[in-house]
Structure 1
Amino acid sequence: MRTHYCAQLNENDVGKEVVLCGWANSYRDHGGVIFIDLRDKTGLIQLVCDPADSKEAHKIATRVRDEYVLIAKGKVRLRGEGLENPRLKTGKIEVVVDKLTIENESAPLPFIIGDTNVNEEIRLKYRYLDLRTKEAYETFELRSKVAIAARNFLDENGFLEVETPVLTKSTPEGARDYLVPSRLYPGEFYALPQSPQLFKQLLMVAGFDRYFQIAKCFRDEDLRADRQPEFTQIDVEMSFCTEDEVIAIAEGLIKAIFTASGIEVQTPFRRMPYHEAMENYGSDKPDLRYDLKLVDVIDIFEDTELKVFRDIAQYKKLNRIKALPVKNGADTLTRKDIDELTNFVAKFGAKGLAWVKVKEDGDLQGPIVKFLSEDEKNRLIERCGVEAGDLIFFGAGAKKTVLDYMGRLRAEVAKKLGLIDKDRYEFVWIVDFPMFEIEEGEVKIKALHHPFTMPKNVDSEDIEAMTSEAYDIVLNGVELGGGSIRIHKPQIQKKIFEILGISDEEAREKFGFLLDALQYGAPPHGGFALGFDRLVMLLTKRDNIRDVIAFPKTQKAQCLLTHAPSPVDPEQLKELHIRIREPKKV
């Protein structure tokens, strides 16, 4: 139908007869000569419909409006002197049309294509229009290249692509399952997989040695900008491997993906123990593009006159007093900024935000200074490495709460001060995770990652000191993915279930098929998964994961385009033995 794409043409094609297809991006009538900017996936080119060249083509051109689908036949020529458009790749040429076909008309548009100020709900309702921009096409072109680069790298390294079931058994994996009722087995349900975790372990037991899949995963959880109810991950598993060998493959894969995207990254990536990440950055996914670090100062306040700090400092294991020194913060952060930051951390459990400034004479100034001794002030200045013009924020209280809000404060201060280099890529592996987490005030113990993660010190009697062979890869403060070495010995798996309070009966009911498989010569194995959508989001410097998914859901897990979820025919429900409960009237 076409001889060329629009932006494939240039000055070397002058004089050629061409046939182009696309959409009318804009239409202009200049004194009888009509100009149409024709758009396809490659870009724009100017069509000229002059009655002197073709009355018929000109007559048809008078009916053209935005987003009409056109087929144009004509000859390429240079634009006149002074009429070139340097903003267009094809700005030096145009096509004089001798035959024009309106293949399809367009209804009036609900918004102008490419208008970024349009409400997101409107854009998602008409997603097929929202995707017509050059930026959207380039995003999905890159997404395609990332998938191809991943497949090529894994294929070259001996990995076999295997698809695992989408209808499977419901198992506890941290989020709610999406359930699918069975027509043939009334009252019983399939679940959509939260990840292919158990199946990829079974493939290792089967002797496949190296598996991968670009897999769809489903989680019924509260959504944020970087979450969707259905998402894609690059899923990898390998046998007879160590943690270092798995990480080396993951780094090679990431490097191949970035290289295909035109970005060079250096490997190996930095590694940081979980404890160090939490204590120094208040997060297990620290953004290392800027040099702000939390400093432990709890010991300085053991005997202070500041009672609230002194009381907290008596319980060092359960509590934290963290300082956040900010270079030049006294000069760059106003009192209004400090009040805004105080309100910000209050949303995450902070009961206040103490602060001090370093004056020109090297002394401290601020609301809490009158309670501090000269020795305490000197120790703070030395420990935090501050000087005139700097500012120190303090967080004090329960360990988990303080680390959380001080980590968030660190990121918020970096934004306010413009410390983040958006062209920089800082990778870090977080390693040596605790095997278990115990919520404050709760007796129940949970697996920090999942109950199939291999512990590093399985014989330890101190559960809180038990670490795991787990690892997360973080890029610019975003968790790209992670993985672990898996438990392959039944006796170790049994011990972990016992610690988690999972009885033999419950284990058999939920994981019986995996436990059976481990009895038949399961090899040592491990793997990882990378968030495919998050990866593309970071590569395209987008802030929202919905921008890199062709047909995403809203934050309320709705598809505004297809109106899903939606009611179904009562007969379908009857076949599935499902009855809808009427909501109680208030």
Structure 2
Amino acid sequence: MTDLLGDMRRTHNCCDLTTAQVGQEVVLMGWVQTRRDHGGVIFVDLRDRTGIAQVVFSPEVNTEVHEKAHAVRSEFVLGIRGTVAARPDDMINDKMVTGAIEVNVDELRILNRAVTPPFAVEDDIEVGENIRLKNRHIDLRRPRYQKNIIARHQATQAVRGYLNSKGFLDIETPFLTKSTPEGARDYLVPSRVNQGLFYALPQSPQLFKQLLMMSGFDRYYQIVKCFRDEDLRADRQPEFTQIDMELSFVGEEEIMAIAEGMVSKVFKDVLGVDVKAPFEHLLYADAMDRYGLDKPDLRFDMELKDVSSIVETSGFKVFADVVKKGGMVKALNAKGCIDFSRKEIDDLTKFVSIYRAKGLAWIKVKENEWQSPIAKFFTDDEKKALAERIGMEPGDLIFFVADQPKVVNESLGNLRNHLAEKLGLINKDEFRFVWVTHFPLFEYDETEKRYQSLHHPFTAPLEEDYQHIETDPLKLRSRAYDLVLNGSEIGGGSIRIHDRAIQERMFSALGMDKEEYEEKFGFLLDALESGAPPHGGIAFGLDRLVMILCGMPSIRDVIAFPKTQKASCMLTDAPSEAGTAQLNELALRIKKIES
């Protein structure tokens, strides 16, 4: 095969060139962004991952090369040799890094031709996501996505450099492991040499990193792929990347301090932004009470107010009955929004119904009266108490939801975020971090009719709550902590259980009998008896962190080759059917399910 490069070797990237190189001979290589023929002189914007440089084909420099350049089209791959020249003053482009120079070409090599791309390699054009993902190799040429992938690289380098400096060891853990489903579904991998048996791809390295602590590697980290076979959203993928770490002989405060230092390093290296540490702390109970969500966005106010005690004896039976049945009523004050139309309010009612709210009561606060279908049901004393609790002022629009606490909090918490976006209350240039701590250890699953771990079953409870393990598991609070940034959870961790007896009590509280937890986790229980140190850790979602750093709406925008919401790769058409020979080797037979 002919070596098209020959003796031509790249000397500079496109954006390396400045007026300092004027008069120098350079060799550039890249793709044709645009080609313009200006009355005999051909201008080409040559693009590589660093940016664009203008190269000029003139018959006065080289007639043969100029003639050859007539064949050049968009996305052709070129190698050029030429001399850097200063642009005339009236041709300087201040919007380009290389806008003060151009390269007069003396040698051209067309390294590869290209068919017309399905869309222009430009940021400011709208392209359907399916088309983008089917042609991801072209999509990734666009400057926006090149910057995103470079930012991801910078973030991982900042993480590695910081953790290495703190004495951590980068240790790999297995991808083929045992299925221990405790939440999302596992991806299963059939074993050929052990027919009928299956590996699972790890949802996280949780158990192995704890075992590393028991092995004496007291500071571990890994930037690692994890896998969950679950329904997808804009911020979820079937395979995702974690910044995973575990430490021995530490408490919550030391882990949080290291995590804050790492995050600060990432923001400084990638964005040049100084973030203030230590970060704010918020108890889970307070987060739910004030914001309705365990990942509150603190860039704006608008806190929820519990008015259950005021309305439980009111004449408005909808509110009173809910409170009597153990539910709650909360209010959200949309300051200055009295002019919302009935249609806008109806649209907000539909919005909260997504979170199972059965309705959205409202009051418009005027100078001397309340305008609302429910105003007549409250006494003057109740109105006064509501006004004080909610901070009502003329011009405000108050929303109420009455239901079980989970529904009320989710409905109004998400409505709070929705209204802040609608009203322009969010400073997009602000980064507000908050640690949310003391989560419940368990939640009750009505479908399964059993308790489930809110995080995972290896999280230690607060010592003062041990007494509730057998008698009232929902009273258990955990030594867990999530780091929230601008309303998104970017990291979560906990202090782990390092005592076998307590771990067995946790498994029992989750409804496992001894035979079940020995079969699933016997290796961990044995390791806990071998001299397990106190330990804890945290994992950050790299994809979500980079998404926020780059200001992107979806983690698919910061992953080189993401899956769709149906967990498929449109570029390679994965997943695909396996051949009969492969299935026979694995002793598998496919059962077609009628749709």
What TM-score bracket applies, with the shorter chain setting the length?
over 0.9
1:191 is aligned, of 200, 212, 226, to: 200
Alignment partner, residue 240 of structure 1: 249
Other-structure match for 2:358:
351
Aligned match of 2:191: 182
Map 1:563-574 to 2 at 5 A: 563-574=573-584
Partner residue in 1 for 2:72: 64
Aligned equivalent of 2:32, options 24, 37, 43: 24
1:425-440 aligned at under 5 Å gives the runs 425-440=431-446
Task: Give the alignment partner of residue 381 of structure 2, picking from 365, 375, 378.
Answer: 375
Deviation at residue 532 of structure 1 after TM alignment: 0.6
Deviation at 1:449, TM superposition (A): 1.1
CA distance in 1, matches of 2:111, 2:208: 49
Q: Which deviates the most, 264-273 or 253-262?
A: 253-262
Q: In structure 1, what is the equivalent of residue 3 of structure 2?
A: none
Equivalent residue, structure 1, for 2:4: none
Q: Which residue pairs with 1:532 in the alignment?
A: 542
Q: Secondary structure at the match of 2:267?
A: helix
Of 271, 282, 288, which residue of structure 2 is paired with 1:272? 282
Q: In structure 2, which of residues 418, 426, 430 is the aligned counterpart of residue 424 of structure 1?
A: 430
Query: What is the match of residue 4 of structure 1?
Result: 12
Structure 1 441/172 Cα, relative in aligned 2: closer, same or farther at 3 Å? closer
- Give the drift of 1:182: 0.2
* Partners of 1:578 and 1:114 in 2: CA distance: 47
Cα contact 1:359–1:389 (8 A) shared by 2: yes
Tell me the SS of whatever aligns to 2:192: coil
Distance in 2 between residues matched to 1:45 and 1:535, nearest whole Å: 32
2:569 to 559, 562, 580: 559
Q: 1:34 maps to which residue?
A: 42
| Letter of the structure 1 residue corresponding to residue 198 of structure 2 | F
Residue 441 of structure 1 and its aligned partner are, at CA, apart by 7.2
1:293 is aligned to 2:303: yes
- Which residues in structure 2 correspond to 1:245-260 (within 5 Å)? 245-260=254-269
> Following the alignment from structure 1 to structure 2, what is the Cα–Cα distance between the partners of residues 283 and 101?
59
CA–CA separation in structure 2 for the residues paired with 1:511 and 1:462:
24
Between the two proteins, the alignment pairs up a number of residues equal to 581
- The answer as to whether partners of 1:437 and 1:448 remain within 8 angstroms in 2 is yes
Cross-structure match for 1:13 = 21
Q: Secondary structure at the match of 1:216?
A: strand
Query: How far apart, in 1, do the equivalents of 2:561 and 2:588 lie?
Result: 29
Aligned pair partner of 1:411 in 417, 425, 449: 417
Q: 1:79 aligns with which of 69, 87, 94?
A: 87
SS in 2 for 1:459: helix
1:299 aligned counterpart, secondary structure: helix
Partner Cα separation in structure 1 for residue 90 and residue 507 of structure 2: 77
Whether 2:138 is the aligned partner of 1:129: answer yes
Q: Could you tell me how far apart the structure 2 residues matched to 1:246 and 1:18 are?
A: 50
Q: Distance in 1 between matches of 2:165 and 2:42?
A: 54
The normalised TM-score by structure 2 is 0.96
How big is the shift at 1:14? 1.4
1:459 counterpart residue number: 467
Cα deviations across residues 140-195 of structure 1 (Å, max 9, x unaligned)? 11111111111111111111110000000001231000000000111100000000
Q: Which amino acid aligns with 1:244?
A: E
Match of 1:471 in 2: 481
Aligned CA RMSD, in angstroms, stands at 1.2
Residue in 1 aligned with 2:593?
A: 583
TM-score (norm 1): 0.97
1:82 aligned counterpart, secondary structure: helix
Distance 2:343 2:390 in 1: 24
Q: Tell me which residue corresponds to 2:316.
A: 306
Instruction: Name the SS of the counterpart of 1:558 in structure 2.
Output: coil
2:528 maps to amino acid:
L
Tell me the SS of whatever aligns to 1:329: coil
* 8 Å Cα contact 1:364/1:377 also seen in 2: no
1:483-529 deviation digits (Å, cap 9, x = unpaired): 11111101101111111111111011111111110110111110000
Residue of structure 2 aligned with 1:341, choices 329, 336, 348: 348
Give the drift of 1:440. Answer: 4.7
- Residue deviations 1:230-266 (CA, integer Å, cap 9, x gap): 0000001011111111111111111111111211101
Shift of 1:391: 1.3
Q: Tell me the amino acid that sits aligned with residue 383 of structure 2.
A: K
Q: Matches of 1:182 and 1:76 in 2, distance apart?
A: 60
Match among 478, 494, 511 for residue 484 of structure 1 = 494
Letter in 1 for 2:18: N
Measure the CA separation in 1 of the matches of 2:283 and 2:495.
Answer: 16
3-state SS in 1 of match to 2:12: coil
Rounded to whole Å, the distance in 2 between the matches of 1:428 and 1:215 is 25
Q: Counterpart of 1:100 in 2: which secondary structure?
A: strand
Residue of structure 1 in register with 2:390 after alignment: 384
Other structure's SS at 1:495 match: helix
Is the 1:430–1:472 contact (alpha carbons within 8 Å) kept by the matching residues of 2?
A: yes
Query: Offset of 1:458 from its aligned partner?
Result: 1.2
Q: 2:113 aligns with which of 105, 109, 132?
A: 105
Amino acid at match of 1:56: E
**2-side partners of 1:374 and 1:581: how far apart?**
68
CA-CA distance at 1:442 after TM superposition: 6.0
Deviations 1:202-255 (A, max 9, x none): 000111111110011000000000000000000010111111111111111111
| Alpha-carbon displacement from aligned partner over 1:518-555 (angstroms, at most 9, x marks no partner) | 11011111000000110000011111000000000001
| SS of alignment partner, residue 211 of structure 1 | strand
Distance of 1:583 and 1:340 partners within structure 2: 39
Query: What secondary structure does 2:384 align onto?
Result: helix
> How far 1:336 sits from its partner (Å)?
2.4
Match of 1:392, SS state, is strand
Q: Work out whether residues 302 and 313 of structure 1, in 8 Å CA contact, stay in contact via their aligned partners in 2.
A: yes
1:582, 1:465 → 2: CA distance? 46
Aligned-partner residue type, residue 31 of structure 1: G
Q: What residue in structure 2 maps to residue 160 of structure 1?
A: 169
Larger mean Cα displacement after TM superposition, 460-469 or 283-292: 460-469
Cα offset, 1:47, TM superposition: 1.2
Q: Which runs of 5+ in 1 are unaligned?
A: none
Find the counterpart in structure 1 of residue 182 from structure 2. 173
- Of the three residues 495, 501, 505, the one matched with 1:495 is 505
* Whole-Å separation in 2 of the counterparts to 1:14 and 1:189: 63
Q: How does 1:504-515 map to 2 (within 5 A)?
A: 504-515=514-525
Structure 2 CA distance for aligned equivalents of residues 213 and 278 of structure 1: 32
**Deviations 1:60-82, CA, capped at 9 Å, x for gaps:** 10000001011111111122231
Tell me the residue number matched to 1:446: 452
CA apart distance, 1:44? 1.1
Q: Percent identity?
A: 55
Which runs of no fewer than 5 residues in structure 2 stay unpaired? 1-8
Q: Secondary structure at the match of 2:338?
A: helix
Name the aligned partner's letter for residue 333 of structure 2: P
The correspondence of residues 144-159 of structure 1 with structure 2, limited to 5 A, is 144-159=153-168
Distance 1:227 1:294 in 2: 28
Structure 2 counterpart of 1:306, which letter? F
